[in-house]
Chains A and B, each alone.
Chain A
Amino acid sequence: MKITGAEALVKCLENENVKVVFGYPGAAICPFYDALLDSGIMHILTRHEQGAAHAASGYSRATDKVGVCAATSGPGATNLITGIATAYMDSIPMIAITGQVETGLIGRDVFQEVDITGATTPFCKHNYLVKDANDIPRIMKEAFHIASTGRPGPVLIDIPIDMQIQKIGFIYPESVNIKGYKPTYRGHLLQIKKVAEAVKNAQRPLICAGGGIISANASAELIELIEKCGIPVVTTLMGIGSIPSEHPMNLGMLGSHGSYGANNALYNADMLLILGARVGDRAMGAAHDIAKRAVIAHIDIDPAEIGKNIGTSIPVVGDIKESLKKLGEISTHGDKSHWIFKLEENVLKNQKHTEIKMESTTVNPGYFLDRLSGIIDEDTIITTEVGQNQIWAASHLRIMNPRTFITSGGLGTMGYGLPSAVGVKIGRPQAKVLSISGDGSFQMSLQELGTIKQYKLGVKIVLFNNSTLGMVRELQKLKYCGRYSAVILEDNPDFIKLVEAYGFTGERISSNEEIDGALDRMMENDGPYLLECMVDPEEPTL
């Protein structure tokens, strides 16, 4: 029996066990939306296509499934772009489906035509323009395979409307065979042995755990290894959650916005084992110097990351989980307690102690997050925006499990936190979902409050309102002699009234003494909730 290309598309999604599509319709994708009605797949209508892409990416991160988003041609497709690039930079598996104008009209600049495959090529793992509807099952099978295997990433499929209407015989392929795509999963044993040897011989070994640990679900293997060999760990921003914040060997986040403990360890290490991290400039600025001081070993599924930003003496290409398992097996028990002791001593010596006054006219965000950490359970999932709020969250929140700290690391996309929380809540309805926000970022995806209202999602928002684009203001203060240019958010709206219009409960606090009571009220409420904290614009990031 023949079915339409659009029906085939939906069947492919069903075959891939897709439960939800985040999207926004338009003429060029209408056949797909029509076919969607006859399937059990839920559709979440976001209020902007960028929100759909971010929601799909949040969904992927929280659930370890492939998030799917859909949009129409032209402006619908271009609105997805920031979400696709965000997912690409953080290696998040995602499928984006876009409608396209009729095949015969492509290239003639007809209404709502854009070359979306051309536009997204630099920040997609792969993309397809469907030229024959009979290819739809193969393309979809390949797309899911490519998105979710190897180093994960977004894949876009652009489907002209006539391809959605054309009738085809449907057989979903059981396997894929892509000549040019064969990720290496098994790390070379000899290389892994070399890593074990280097760890053993090192006086001051250190592990840098990146987002790769989380995408490979390798936390248990990581923790087993460090406990066996006695190696301390620092994480990147993307690696937060790979090892519990409270683990005694976890020294925190490294980098320009990282902790003293983590950076001090990196500075003093004589051996560095990088796991699923791409040595980005924010994490390891002076990578060249690090390589001079320490023996570098790097395990990554993507060979192109090894040697890209740091000279590596022991490269291992392969799946982190498998490689760590092997490494754990062949490593000998080690005792590096003198080194860990030294690190702890340094941290103690350099501890800043800021006294928190309870009666205050603003909320101290660090203290607030410390208090919040004390009351959230381990399954609470945090999303963040970008700016000071992101770094405050990264450095203060107690994150105990992988996939519970969701943030835009590589692209640093403001407006990510709220829509990604939508995706997280859809994917993990039982978990408490809390979005940490700044007043700038919050207003970039504000419209998704409507999505939260429509689908009755109990998303909680903590809004640090400092009436400025705090992180940029701080940069201008320190690097541009305090000449503030376009960073003041003068005359913000009344955010409480605003969210109330969307069915939220809202509360505003402006002193530290109000924190505990307000937190209790927020956590007891199952509905959508916004807690606005008035923050001093002078509050530093670190």
Chain B
Amino acid sequence: MPLQHEHEFLVTGSHDEMNRQHYVSRLRMHILNQIGAGMRGVYENRVKPKFKQTNGRVPKNEHEIRKAMLADSYGKTWSTMMVNCQDMVWESVRPAIERAQPGLNEKVSRVKATHGSIVLNSDVKVPRYLAGADIHRMPGNYHTERATDDVTQGALYDRGRFVYNGGAAGPFADGIPRTMAAYIKARWPDFKPKKILELGCTIGTSTVPFVDAFPDAEVHAIDVSAPSLRYGHARAEALGKPIHFHQMDAEALDFEDQSFDLVYSCIIFHETSRKAYPKILEECKRILKPGGQMIHTELTPVANMDDFDAFYIDWDAYYNNEPFYQTYTSLDPEEWVTKAGFEPSKFFQASIPDLDRSPPDVFAGAVRNPTVADRKAARVGESAKWYTYGAWK
């Protein structure tokens, strides 16, 4: 697994702290890929037969499976390890970032906007779906301000997310957006967006690959979380990437109608709400120019999965502070995209093989022949396919 690229503002830690972080990554991958991989066998060979014996039938949905699996010792052990390891991720990066402060905030506040820009707007309210829960148990979420001009949450996310992924998304933690950008270029080679917008960019890890893929385009990125945006702006400047960051709510964008050629997001909807989701899709439609493209990578809808996988993927909803996760995965993207005003014939969806983790011919095949995977596709380290959907205006 690669080491993380160290830009000027990244906080890693001391000798021992870094090794602790690297260990936590391996432990997490082990829990996910080795212990987690045993969950289905435990279900089929032990939990399901026992359920059948007691109830005279097999579990009828993911909820019954969850109850039965969490009554099993293997399910309990896996679950407690998952929760604890999630907390170990944040705990492994916390001390070094606390030590780096307030120096880090001061360093970031001195950054000059030479390549891109940043516009903050303190009138933007943090929506309840972010304010109400520390998603992924990340202490303080993306938005908490702990001082004036604070970037703490951005620093925590940058290093913590890398530890969480165990490097599986590459040195820049950008496997998904790099895959998306490469897919767009390969599948629609004549599409040359001049103005691009990312929704929910956090620290811009998912913005940079679009700058690289479309060097002639003007790239904008929005988020509601100021500490993440400040940090992301500093990071982009350190990397020499022209990105224009704005503090905005995706439900009510300040951009003019028909002002972008491409609008995209990378795993943001499942962290919003049932009310916000359609509003954001409508905003995408509004700000797109005719002929423009909207594209989102997200969790695979559970309708595409069997009940066991649905239980497995929705586990996070219950135990990893993902309050909208389960409702989101139950929605049909095609239905909502068309409700937002896109033509049904202009809708598309595909499960895209991860650029780094699949052979080139597999990626090329998925471009020629787009299909949607029928099994879980979005869990780190498990399957190297990303469910992506969108529409042309």
A and B interact: no
